[in-house]
Amino acid sequence: MSHHPSDITDFDAIIFDMDGLLLDTEKLSYESFVTTAASYDQRFQFDDYRQLIGRNAKTGIDILRKMLPATIDAAKFKDDWLDVYRQLLDHHIEVKPGAHQLLACLEKMQIPRAVATSSSGTKARAILDRVGLWQYIPHLTGGDEVKAGKPAPDVYFDAARKLGVDAPRCIAFEDSETGITAALAAGMRVIQIPDLIAAERALAPPTFYLASSLSEGAALLGIDL
């Protein structure tokens, strides 16, 4: 059992999720999912989509397979969905409020930081570079660069290893339940900033905290943006 410092301001590194946390991409992902489903004459509700949030590609296809009729090839559906999503990303990708300020501030304070994402590593690096955040991120682990994606803790363990910091000394910033489960399983303390889905679990200091924005999350850590 890892021993968590009881004071949340006592930490050595911060690890960030990307989609829905640093980048406002989840709404684009949902929009492109609905568009793709319609092209296959499928109608889904947000509740159907929510089980796909925070999953890597492999798990996503398994979930789609269960959602779609047997006549539709889930892998082909996923490819079509990604095409629509990429077109949306090419036109507008918004950075979450406070993301630039927080990452720049951590760099100035020389606090080790990394990104642990379900997205493919190569794509994640390219997108973060395009929106101007990559300059502040020394390390990143993608969902395709570890054995198991979130909710397994692999991406978080790998990001901590790259930083040379023990997992219990890391704070994870997450938006989704899948991501929170992964970070907690890695023995990290988590600050959730909900995105499309409202928070589902109760506060549980010293391991789990809630904030409404990145700057509020930073304030919990004693960092004033």
Give the per-residue pLDDT at 6: 80
DSSP state of 169: G
pLDDT at residue 54 above 90?
Answer: no
Backbone region of residue 203 per phi and psi (left: phi > 0; alpha: psi in -120 to 50; beta: other values): beta
Neighbouring residues of 186: CB distance < 8 A, sequence distance ≥ 6: 153, 156, 157, 160, 167, 170, 172
Helix or strand run (H / E) with residue 191: strand 189-192
Tokens of 170: 């890391």
Per-residue burial over 117-139, b if 16 or more Cβ lie within 10 Å, else e, is: bbbebebbbebbeeeebbebbeb
Q: How far apart are CA 38 and CA 44, in angstroms?
A: 9
Which of 126, 162, 127 lies closest to 141 in space, CA to CA?
162
| Of the candidate ranges 3-17, 143-157, 158-172, the one whose mean pLDDT is the lowest | 3-17
Q: How far apart are CA 141 and CA 55, in angstroms?
A: 14
Tokens of 192: 């959730």
Q: How far apart are CA 191 and CA 209, in angstroms?
A: 5
140-167: average pLDDT: 97
Confidence of residue 3 (pLDDT cuts 50, 70, 90): low
pLDDT at residue 2 above 90?
Answer: no
Confidence of residue 91 (pLDDT cuts 50, 70, 90): confident
